A and B are shown apart, each in its own frame.
Chain A
Amino acid sequence: MGRKVLILVLMVFVIGCAKKYVLTPEEPVKLEEVKEVKEVKAVKAEEIRKEAKKAESVEEKILPRETKEVAAPVIEKPLFELKDALFDFDRYDIRADARAILDSIASWFDKNRGINILIEGHCDDRGTNEYNLALGEKRAIAARNYLVSKGIAPSRMSTVSYGEEKPACTEQNEDCWQRNRRAHFVVTK
């Protein structure tokens, strides 16, 4: 089962290669530049030339990266990083920073219709095991509900809680505890 999932994931990334620059966060910037070029009415030839040069230079920046990524095997590194959405201690409401992460996940998800994800809920180890499983569940559900509110079909997202059972780190400090208080996203299809 695990092998099949891995092959499907690899296929997604390989197939996505061709238009992958569409998936990078860079894309909004590029669009704005193009818009600027479009909106500048032809007043002075110089200014037009300046704008064209700007667009060109932007393209120059992007193009080499694009070429490099086509050549390199992208199998190991996902092109879009599914970051963890983090939570406060003993809380499962979506913070502002988590909202930003969920927003970018939502738009990526929206553009990749063939993908399903699993949302894992996790906690730091300071509470008790059973309560932390329930807390992790609330975090996964909260992330899922937020993505649903952004228009993602519920059937594309499953949830599971691991409570404090699968920590990302084990140091006893606030840094590590915060890293563990997370909704973690895994591509499943």
Chain B
Amino acid sequence: MSDIVRKVREQGQAAFARLGLPTTRLETWKYTDVKRAMAPFLERLAEAPAKPETLDTATIKALSIADLDAYRLILVDGRMVAEASDLPEGVHAESLAKLLAEHPEQGIEPLGMEEDAPLFNGFVALNAAHAQDGVGICIDDKIKLDKPLYILHICSGQVAHVCHGIHVGTQAEATVIEHYAGLDEATGFTNVVTQVRLMQAGHLRHIRLQQESGKQTHIGRVSVHQRRDSQYSSHSIALGAALSRVDIVTSLAEAGAACNLNGLYLTTGRQHADHHTVIDHKAPHCTSREMYRGVMDGRSRAVFNGRVVVGEGAIKTDSAQTNANLLLSATAEVDTKPELEIYNDDVKCAHGATIGQLDPNQLFYLKSRGLSEDEARQLLTFAFADEVLVSIDVPAVRRHIERAAFSKLPLGADISEVLA
């Protein structure tokens, strides 16, 4: 292990020793108690990860997004098992383990942590201390990637600390899909950190799909650093896992940068899904858009906290945020909190959160055309969720998520006909 890697590991260990796992005493973890979900893994948190489970092609295929034309990388239990082939000139996507061994100064970049960053917590420290692998992506200046990079991570029931780095060069453009899946009945813990760096006028479309199996715990953090005129567009979708928490922290560090954060969480049974986002407007003329939606059924619970900070120098900031929630059962719960902190006068900011039921006018309209009450409700619920997905411009991904969402919100119809 090189010195710089050892240093980061030690820092991670020290920070974790100090912080431990977050508890509900912390304001940012008030509604998400990880104690029970983490209990099975406490003894294994710091163990060197075991060899990844060997999965056959059929299993991998069944968990993958179908009909997706993309550069594929596959990780199992936090370890790269299949690298991308045929990457075009100027596009690099390599195993982080390999980078750390061969070019530690590059590999260390995503692994390095900033302890004073917003929402920093013990999981991030754990990741820095123990993540062995992940994907280091670099899109060279002015390169426009012709098809998405698709990173499939499958958890077989182990503890996996995964770390990805995505560097998008000046005027470069790419779509990266992170897909988290799990084997049925697997009780695993996935802890992912993704560090994104967008150079001047770089553009990243980032889709993060969490579809782990029902007994898993999923913790994720995405930190984004945006330079001048860069664009970051994200879809963070939470469908699976018993407990999931995904934090997205984006820093609009230079003028003209724009981010567009979209999120969808669908929870049923006793699932718990938490999303925290922080959009930090540090420079003038930056734009942020955020739309998160949730549908909660059964005894499930969701949390949304969206903080927008507009700094003193961030004049002409244009920011809009919405969070809308549908509760389908009397025992489902959502805690939503948009937070706006503005430190200058020359801004345009709007935010709003709603928790509600379906629109009676829309319901009546559908029924007046002959749809039954149940059909009309299901259709509207699905359409509500789908509004987050319409802006995903990779059709195979959108259809995959819609199908998965559909199987959670059953509707007696053929999905391909229903959608606009």
Q: Are these two chains actual partners, yes or no? A: no
Q: Which residues of B contact A (CB under 8 A)?
A: none
